[in-house]
């Protein structure tokens, strides 16, 4: 029975922390855009759908921005099938 003197205040502290976390999330707009990330994937470009010319331009741009482009030994995935 004496354990209740510990558990009741502990549960009230935990409840207070949960309420504080909820109001913090609401105040910092954590619940504003719930569906945006679900729809964002539909608008992302897929490298397999790019033409070879667009893929070459994208690789040139990424090499121009990389500090050491001579060690770029990544294989070209243009031979992969779309499956």
Residue bearing tokens 């976390």: 21
pLDDT attached to residue 5: 95
pLDDT attached to residue 77: 60
Question: What is the SS3 assignment for 26-66?
Answer: HHCCCCCCCCHHHHHHHHCCCHHHCCHHHHHHHHHHHHHHC
User: What is the pTM (predicted TM-score) of this model?
Assistant: 0.43
- The Cβ-side half-sphere exposure at 40, using a 13 Å CA radius, reads 5
Residue bearing tokens 């490298």: 47
- The Cβ-side half-sphere exposure at 46, using a 13 Å CA radius, reads 6
What is the chain's pLDDT, residue by residue, as a tens digit (83 residues)?
899 999 999 999 999 999 999 999 999 988 888 888 888 888 876 656 667 787 788 888 888 876 654 555 556 565 555 55
Burial zone of 61 (CB within 10 Å; 0-12 exposed, 13-18 middle, 19+ buried):
exposed
């Amino acid at each position: 029975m004496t354990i209740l003197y510990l558990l009741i205040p502990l549960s009230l502290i935990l409840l207070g922390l949960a309420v504080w976390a909820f109001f913090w999330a609401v105040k910092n707009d954590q619940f504003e855009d719930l569906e945006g990330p679900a729809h964002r994937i539909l608008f992302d470009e897929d490298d397999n759908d790019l033409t070879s010319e667009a893929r070459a331009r994208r690789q040139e741009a990424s090499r121009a921005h990389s500090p050491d482009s001579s060690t770029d030994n990544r294989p070209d995935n243009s031979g992969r099938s779309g499956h």
